[in-house]
Amino acid sequence: MPRVIFAIFPDTEILDLAGPLQVVHEANALGADYRVVYAAPEPEIATQQGLLLANLEPLPNVRADDLILVPGTAFFRRATTPPPQIAQAATWLREAYGHGATIGSICVGAFLLGAAGLLDGRTCTTHWSRVAELHARFPAANVVGNRLYVVDERIVTSAGIASGIDMALALIEHAHGAQFAAAVAREMVVYVRRDGNAAQQSVYVQHRDHLEPGVHAVQDWLVNNAAEPHDLDDLAGVAGLSRRHLTRVFRRATGIGVKEYTTKLRLERARLFLRDPALSVDAVAERCGFADGRQLRRLWKTAYGTTPAASRTTTIPLH
């Protein structure tokens, strides 16, 4: 039975742990067969949010088929000297990698991988606000920003907090296929599994830092119905505003127009469907609300400087 070992250290960030854990839990409910291990240097650990985690197992001997996930801890959010447990953890992680385990970090958990020497000569990422610091602390690492997660052989690093869910879904997809991972995402009400090349500042969270309820209602509707035909009258009805007022308020609140926002959503949706090699570009265009493949190719070229066909991603190369 393959094991997923959650390596828990003092002041662990709760969502860094809970997000990937929920992915594994839902995968097991749908037929996967992972043994989940909660391991720590001590039997009880307090999270950064004050929740006490108890009955934790000692850091185990690691096998080649183990997956180790390292949530971020607040120690790496502060400019303080890490406690002895961190040095112990670094030694354990280094030995685990030597035994063939795959190791993934969430958010500032990448700093622990760096302390273990596992980022040297590798491409990696962390939370966008800590990218420069990670590079400064571990100059032998190739630290990249604006990526949700990065795979470099058996080391997988992810960005801030919620991106741990994206990384975990990607690992599940590698092991069980895209359809299985999509089923897990649906159970979690994650309407799209973002790939590692997606920006940390995703279109699904961009343009939402406003207090206009009618605009939020339109954005929610578009996220869930981006592929459906609609016009400004339809959206005005969703917002409870006139066409003219919606156009004005939407641009004032988001900084872009309704049409541009809709195009962004459709392009992000197309990115997901392009992962399926069985779908032609024309079929993807139809599923995403574009007039045809030609329109998708034109808008994709404008947005990303390449073609949809050239942007198809491949399976994550683990093991």
Question: Is 7 part of a structural domain of the chain?
Answer: yes
Question: Is 10 part of a structural domain of the chain?
Answer: yes
165 and 96 share a domain? yes
Whole-number pLDDT of residue 146 = 74
56 and 91 share a domain? yes
pLDDT along the chain (319 residues), means of 10: 93 94 96 96 93 96 96 72 76 96 95 95 92 92 88 91 87 83 78 50 69 88 89 95 95 94 92 83 94 95 89 49
64 and 124 share a domain? yes
177 and 260 share a domain? no
For residue 124, what are the domain limits? 3-187
How many domains in the chain? 2
Whole-number pLDDT of residue 312 = 74
Classify residue 105 by burial, with Cβ atoms within 10 Å: 0-12, 13-18, 19+. buried
Classify residue 148 by burial, with Cβ atoms within 10 Å: 0-12, 13-18, 19+. buried
CATH number at 96 reads: 3.40.50.880
The contacts of residue 62 (CB under 8 Å, 6+ apart) are 5, 68, 95, 96, 99, 101
| Domain end position, chosen among 146, 172, 187 | 187
120 and 180 share a domain? yes
224 and 301 share a domain? yes
229 and 82 share a domain? no
Whole-number pLDDT of residue 78 = 57
181 and 228 share a domain? no
Token pair of 107, please?
């958010």
Question: Is 196 part of a structural domain of the chain?
Answer: no
Whole-number pLDDT of residue 317 = 39
Question: Is 306 part of a structural domain of the chain?
Answer: yes
